[in-house]
A and B are shown apart, each in its own frame.
Chain A
């Protein structure tokens, strides 16, 4: 079947602190299949964002490699699309010009990039806002724009770091369905970080449960629910069982903020 698209090969990350060496990540191994959707869940401070920074080439791991399509991409930038928690839309650019940022940086002419972006803007619920500035948009729309910017950046792998964390519950549900539609249309390989177990299961083919201090993967849970998924599938016994398992795994770890308060 599908081949491995993204391989995180024995990656560790250590920081020297006054209190000694801090293991942010401890021997992370992760293989993501082409075109699949995987999620990382875990407590705060388990190094989810550090993994993303390493995959995006923004941080150099202390050990290990990152391979994309079998090519060593450790510490090289511009290989994956990366969407951070904040939408980071540039306030001085219109929505369209924000979305084409990735293409523009890759050297596509502005006019051409705009021509490519416009139909997508209209198709994915941003019609009528092509020339609006970000401050005129709602949180959901800004997030859509940020996602489109990430997807239009011409890479196969997309990292999404809690993209819906700041949205209200209703908008969030709509955005999840919208994201699944986009993922199916674009055929990208998505790695998704979230705090929300239900969100992770609903979206993913595989959920990686992480533990903190040191950050490591404590379980890999395959989500075999059929696609396309509808909202109603969250009420099925299979879904419930998966959710239960994830929550048990998360709760089995001592809450780090209590343990390490001293």
Chain B
């Protein structure tokens, strides 16, 4: 039996390795490991892949529908959707519907955010008042507000008022609770400082509480715009004469699947535009308040 002979230098290296690892008291011969680094692609490549995926999906859908692999009746297909889209924008109600949904969303968003923030801030004025009102707010928060939508439509009618009301109901509570959290986070030492300077409550409120809570108020804007849009659409689902939500429901009920897709796409485009705008406003405001 012959033992394969290792070259002399390997033996020497091993001995040194064993020696040093004995000294260090660790297991010998760990493989060297490099820091894992992912090479980042240029933006153009990322965008190209993103567009590629979209093209593949649309092409597969179209081909699938043409070959009968996908049921055109239930799923429609891209060329029909495009056709409906042009009709929707030329002879259809596209602009009326978009304007209606946009208006109810924005108004609900503004009313809900402002009223909610004001309500949250108002809790600073009295601990008793805050303690009394708080359970009601939390109760209203845990309630699925959309469950109230039919009632709201009955009360406010099938016009824009009911859509604004639902959007307001959804955004109000979020703003209230977040602002209240901000109020509770106001530094008590800051209040001490103000009072030691002889400040009135109104001065503390205006110069300390409101500025401290602004970042909290701003942080919910993005969430609220999404909620307001949801509220407006649900309102239109229930009863409406205009709006993208109504277009979706109407198209669904008449099996006009292409129109469903068109309305949903326009709705997402609207949502993206509003979301991006609000994100931008948020950033500008955050910079403006220097916190």
Residues of chain A whose beta carbon lies under 8 Å from any beta carbon of chain B:
53, 56-58, 77-82, 84, 86, 88, 90-92, 101-102, 104-106, 133, 135, 153
Contact A78 B197 (CB under 8 A): yes
CB-nearest residue of chain B relative to A106? Answer: B198
B199:A88 contact, CB within 8 angstroms: no
Query: Does B197 contact A92, Cβ atoms closer than 8 Å?
Result: no
Which of B193, B198, B207 is most buried by chain A, counting CB atoms within 10 A of its CB? B193
Q: Chain A's interface: helix, strand, loop or mixed, by majority?
A: loop
7 contacts between A and B (CB under 8 A): A77-B196, A79-B198, A81-B196, A86-B189, A88-B189, A88-B193, A92-B289
Whether the pair A133, B196 counts as a contact (CB closer than 8 A) is: no
**1/0 contact trace for B196-211 toward A, CB 8 Å?**
1111000100011001
Report whether A88 and B198 are in contact in the complex, using a CB–CB cutoff of 8 Å: no
- For B, the interface residue count at a CB cutoff of 8 angstroms equals 19
List the B side residues contacting A91 at CB < 8 Å. Answer: 290-291
Q: Which of B260-291 contact A (CB under 8 A)?
A: 289-291
Q: Once the chains are docked, how many angstroms separate the CA of A57 from the CA of B194?
A: 12
> Are B193 and A82 neighbours in the complex by a CB distance under 8 Å?
yes
Q: Compute how far the CA of A81 lies from the CA of B193 in the bound complex, rounded to whole angstroms.
A: 9
Q: Which residues of chain B are within 8 angstroms of A77 by Cβ–Cβ distance?
A: 195-199
The verdict on A78 contacting B290 (CB below 8 Å), with A88-B187, A105-B203 known, is: no
CA distance A56 to B198 in the complex (A): 9
B154-210 residues with Cβ-Cβ distance < 8 A to A are 187, 189-190, 192-199, 203, 207-208
- A84 contact set on B, CB distance < 8 A: 189, 192-193
Which 10 pairs between the two chains have the least Cβ-Cβ distance?
A: A78-B198, A82-B196, A56-B196, A105-B199, A102-B197, A105-B197, A88-B193, A92-B211, A77-B195, A92-B290
Q: Which residues of B contact A101 (CB under 8 A)?
A: 197, 207
Complex CA gap A80/B193 in Å reads 11
Give the distance to chain B from A99, nearest Cβ to Cβ, in Å. 12
